[in-house]
Chains A and B, each alone.
Chain A
């Protein structure tokens, strides 16, 4: 394999591993603030217990996000020097603002949020929780601004082959930014909703009848049921935006070779780039036309429009985009089925979480990390869908890669993959271990548990 492909795989491995953890911390920060505010308002110990359990998951996820994020900041220089050399005048300030406004905010207040509750006044601890949640979201904002600009660049001019910023408002509010940001923030919400529901269902299956577990199970399912339709709407709008600005990506997502209409919604096919057609195609007639143009016979862009006269392919690789998109949609359908079933079961005879049968709890546990799969599949769709461009129309991926010997890239790639695989297994293992320990009523922290705290609460009531 050559340096370009290995560098791409290495970047993909690094950023795939990284995004797993921000996807959790972005929304979990706000969820923790919600738990804390409920506790402040009701003084009901179940909210404190919920906070106490999930803040540990937050701390662990945050640490993994930080260290994998440091790797990202070096990858630009070690593997993709052409990126900063060409578009550094735009990418640089955006990355700098992420570090300056978001990273330090979260990092500094994280310590107070995690360990400071007994050292600072209550309002300052709540404020620290808010600032950490705000910081993670702000960080998502800046990085998605940059990512969106790479998809739909504007507000710049080229001088001697180097991009210069001309209008920062246009750069920040580039056409795909609002859709991509909303799509990612809701994705984070869904990921956390299923994580909380899954771990809580696991604890109930182990016989944990704590009020905090019932509360978080219900919270997770209701949050998921509410967010899923929002995500369908946001995703549809994002797709229409992509149709307008990156039609080649839409063509690959739909597996459509010739421009025209009506086009079916393809449920399954094997796209064959050699023969430039789909094998084993199963589809719903008019489906793609209806979704993309909101009319029965609307025209859908085709991949064959993106082949140069000399045969150079200017569209993304079809199969990875086509399948990644279908995996994302498939997981979303499962999410909707599960969360709506759950809410319906809880509403039936007002049974609450007691109305959830064992089989349903098992299904919820199986879906604990469903958000990760959908998020990764979604990112693969959009990022592979941008190829062969690194920055649409301005810089190709090939132009940006570093001239580092392939064996060196391969060696570090293998090391990263080994570490990442071990850490993902350890992370998932520890989450379920913490859940088992909590379900068995054992203390979780570094310190022996705090019966005194329990007494203090009871006394305060």
Chain B
């Protein structure tokens, strides 16, 4: 790496954007996945499922705004090219995100007879957003090509990413739910792990086939040796998940965090593989991050802010997950604990 800011600044911003995307895919992945699983749950379970993601979904989606914001500000040329090429799936995703975001609120506040309708909107919105993201991933991997073959591949990745999201959503519920819902979530995860495996395999197989450049990056010595841990770790994680899902839930809720952590690790590995394949291109095979980058002085201004603010963001994200740790319980807006015995932490002040 060079000391020239025009070289390393775009790299740093590509890394930051990648970090935002991977955090987004894991975090919104699980809450979109919970939405996709909605039709399989009964009404009481639906309330609990929403409660398990209620305090987080908004911050989760902010990572998408940050990722797209970084693309916008650091690589403005690429931003225009990518988003105009993906015009329709982007619109479908946005409509989906709108529907599910508002359904969260409306299903709890609208008259009871409308609740079923908002539940359907929540499912439909989650499904639309997941499918659209998977479709865009497929098109992107194939170089934003609009041939029939590329569109067909997009449909395949749309289905697999959606199943992948429902898998990590189920893994989240194994962690956050108890009793019947937890047992159900284990069954959902067993059904969804196929999508994850096939999706990883399809993208891993397709990207080197599409581009000889990517083929050479992976299948030449000694790169192969350096890269070997990626597929090996992935296979080990899939094996671990397989074994765990046959044993969960365990006595005393032991190890219920393993599927979620393993699924997260799988998503991260898959992302690292993709990032390695496409670097240095931001628009596949067309525009590199260095060609698309904004002026260094503008990137500087953003970088300074990012370095100061990112640790704070991570800090209060962690705070929010700590505050709402443990098993999910129904949400309420009470200012004072209804039943001090419930968690014992925030009892109302004693009578004077």
Contacts A108-B317, A116-B324 given; indicate if A460 touches B348 (C-beta within 8 A). yes
- Which residues in chain B, 313-352, are within 8 Å of chain A measured between CB atoms? 313, 316-317, 319-320, 323-324, 330-339, 343, 345-346, 348-349, 351-352
The reply to whether B345 and A119 contact each other, CB–CB distance below 8 Å, is: yes
Alpha-carbon distance between A112 and B73 when the two chains are bound, in angstroms: 31
Would you call A293 an interface residue if the criterion is a C-beta within 8 Å of the partner chain's C-beta atoms? no
Alpha-carbon distance between A223 and B174 when the two chains are bound, in angstroms: 49
The reply to whether B88 and A408 contact each other, CB–CB distance below 8 Å, is: yes
A461 CB contacts on chain B under 8 angstroms: 352
B317 CB contacts on chain A under 8 angstroms: 104, 108
Alpha-carbon distance between A456 and B351 when the two chains are bound, in angstroms: 8
A121 CB contacts on chain B under 8 angstroms: 346
Residue of chain A at shortest CB distance from B331: A115
The reply to whether A430 and B106 contact each other, CB–CB distance below 8 Å, is: yes
Residue of chain A at shortest CB distance from B295: A89
Interface of B is mostly: helix
Alpha-carbon distance between A64 and B106 when the two chains are bound, in angstroms: 10
A63 CB contacts on chain B under 8 angstroms: 58, 101-102, 104-105
B316 CB contacts on chain A under 8 angstroms: 104-105, 108-109
8 Å CB contact of B298 from A92, A403, A433: A92
A112 CB contacts on chain B under 8 angstroms: 55, 319-320, 323
Mark contacts of B62-106 with chain A using CB atoms, 8 A cut-off: 1 yes-contact digit, 0 otherwise.
Answer: 101110111111101101111110011011001101110110111
The reply to whether A450 and B72 contact each other, CB–CB distance below 8 Å, is: no
Would you call B255 an interface residue if the criterion is a C-beta within 8 Å of the partner chain's C-beta atoms? no
Residue of B54, B91, B319, B330 ringed by the most chain A CB atoms within 10 A? B91
Residue of B110, B333, B348 ringed by the most chain A CB atoms within 10 A? B333
Would you call B232 an interface residue if the criterion is a C-beta within 8 Å of the partner chain's C-beta atoms? no
The reply to whether A93 and B73 contact each other, CB–CB distance below 8 Å, is: yes
The reply to whether B346 and A445 contact each other, CB–CB distance below 8 Å, is: no
The reply to whether A120 and B323 contact each other, CB–CB distance below 8 Å, is: yes
Alpha-carbon distance between A75 and B74 when the two chains are bound, in angstroms: 17
B309 CB contacts on chain A under 8 angstroms: 100-101, 104
The reply to whether A164 and B297 contact each other, CB–CB distance below 8 Å, is: yes
Alpha-carbon distance between A459 and B73 when the two chains are bound, in angstroms: 55
8 Å CB contact of B102 from A48, A408, A423, A433: A423
B47 CB contacts on chain A under 8 angstroms: 446
B54 CB contacts on chain A under 8 angstroms: 111, 114-115
A120 CB contacts on chain B under 8 angstroms: 323, 346
Q: How many residues of B sit at the interface, in one of the four size bands?
A: 35 or more
Would you call A287 an interface residue if the criterion is a C-beta within 8 Å of the partner chain's C-beta atoms? no
Residue of chain B at shortest CB distance from A107: B59
Tell which of B158-166, B195-203, B222-230, B300-308 binds the partner.
B300-308
B65 CB contacts on chain A under 8 angstroms: 69-70, 73, 99, 103
Mark contacts of A66-105 with chain B using CB atoms, 8 A cut-off: 1 yes-contact digit, 0 otherwise.
Answer: 1111110110111001101100111111011101110111
Alpha-carbon distance between A137 and B108 when the two chains are bound, in angstroms: 27
The reply to whether A118 and B337 contact each other, CB–CB distance below 8 Å, is: yes
Would you call B252 an interface residue if the criterion is a C-beta within 8 Å of the partner chain's C-beta atoms? no
A408 CB contacts on chain B under 8 angstroms: 87-88
A36 CB contacts on chain B under 8 angstroms: 335
Alpha-carbon distance between A99 and B74 when the two chains are bound, in angstroms: 14
Would you call B109 an interface residue if the criterion is a C-beta within 8 Å of the partner chain's C-beta atoms? yes
Interface size on A, residues (CB 8 A): 87
Q: How far is the CB of A98 from chain B (nearest CB, A)?
A: 8
Residue of chain B at shortest CB distance from A48: B335
The reply to whether B59 and A403 contact each other, CB–CB distance below 8 Å, is: no
Residue of B64, B65, B104, B331 ringed by the most chain A CB atoms within 10 A? B65
Residue of B58, B83, B108, B345 ringed by the most chain A CB atoms within 10 A? B58
Residue of chain B at shortest CB distance from A80: B80
B98 CB contacts on chain A under 8 angstroms: 67-68, 70-71, 419, 423
Alpha-carbon distance between A108 and B324 when the two chains are bound, in angstroms: 12
B239 CB contacts on chain A under 8 angstroms: none
B90 CB contacts on chain A under 8 angstroms: 74, 78
Would you call A168 an interface residue if the criterion is a C-beta within 8 Å of the partner chain's C-beta atoms? yes
Q: How far is the CB of B17 from chain A (nearest CB, A)?
A: 11
Contacts A96-B302, A115-B332, A460-B348 given; indicate if A415 touches B91 (C-beta within 8 A). yes
Would you call B61 an interface residue if the criterion is a C-beta within 8 Å of the partner chain's C-beta atoms? yes
B58 CB contacts on chain A under 8 angstroms: 62-63, 66, 107, 110-111
Would you call B310 an interface residue if the criterion is a C-beta within 8 Å of the partner chain's C-beta atoms? yes
Alpha-carbon distance between A81 and B348 when the two chains are bound, in angstroms: 55
The reply to whether A55 and B333 contact each other, CB–CB distance below 8 Å, is: yes
Would you call A295 an interface residue if the criterion is a C-beta within 8 Å of the partner chain's C-beta atoms? no
Alpha-carbon distance between A404 and B81 when the two chains are bound, in angstroms: 11
8 Å CB contact of B83 from A74, A93, A101, A162: A74
Alpha-carbon distance between A119 and B54 when the two chains are bound, in angstroms: 15
Would you call A453 an interface residue if the criterion is a C-beta within 8 Å of the partner chain's C-beta atoms? yes
Residue of B81, B99, B323 ringed by the most chain A CB atoms within 10 A? B323
Q: How far is the CB of B100 from chain A (nearest CB, A)?
A: 8
8 Å CB contact of B73 from A68, A78, A92, A444: A92
The reply to whether B102 and A89 contact each other, CB–CB distance below 8 Å, is: no
The reply to whether B99 and A419 contact each other, CB–CB distance below 8 Å, is: yes
Q: How far is the CB of A164 from chain B (nearest CB, A)?
A: 6
Alpha-carbon distance between A76 and B84 when the two chains are bound, in angstroms: 10
Contacts A67-B98, A446-B332 given; indicate if A119 touches B346 (C-beta within 8 A). yes
Mark contacts of A111-133 with chain B using CB atoms, 8 A cut-off: 1 yes-contact digit, 0 otherwise.
Answer: 11011111111000100000000
Q: How far is the CB of B282 from chain A (nearest CB, A)?
A: 13
Contacts A63-B104, A103-B62, A403-B84 given; indicate if A447 touches B332 (C-beta within 8 A). yes
Would you call A452 an interface residue if the criterion is a C-beta within 8 Å of the partner chain's C-beta atoms? yes
Q: How far is the CB of B227 from chain A (nearest CB, A)?
A: 32
Known: A81-B76, A165-B297, A433-B110. 15 other contacts (CB 8 A): A52-B333, A67-B101, A70-B98, A81-B84, A95-B69, A104-B59, A105-B316, A107-B58, A118-B334, A444-B333, A445-B334, A446-B330, A447-B338, A453-B337, A456-B348
Q: Which 10 A-B pairs have the closest CB atoms?
A: A81-B80, A92-B73, A111-B55, A77-B83, A67-B101, A88-B76, A84-B76, A107-B59, A456-B348, A118-B337
Of the A-B pairs whose beta carbons lie under 8 Å apart in the complex, a sample of 5, sorted by A's number, is A64-B102, A81-B81, A114-B331, A118-B337, A456-B336
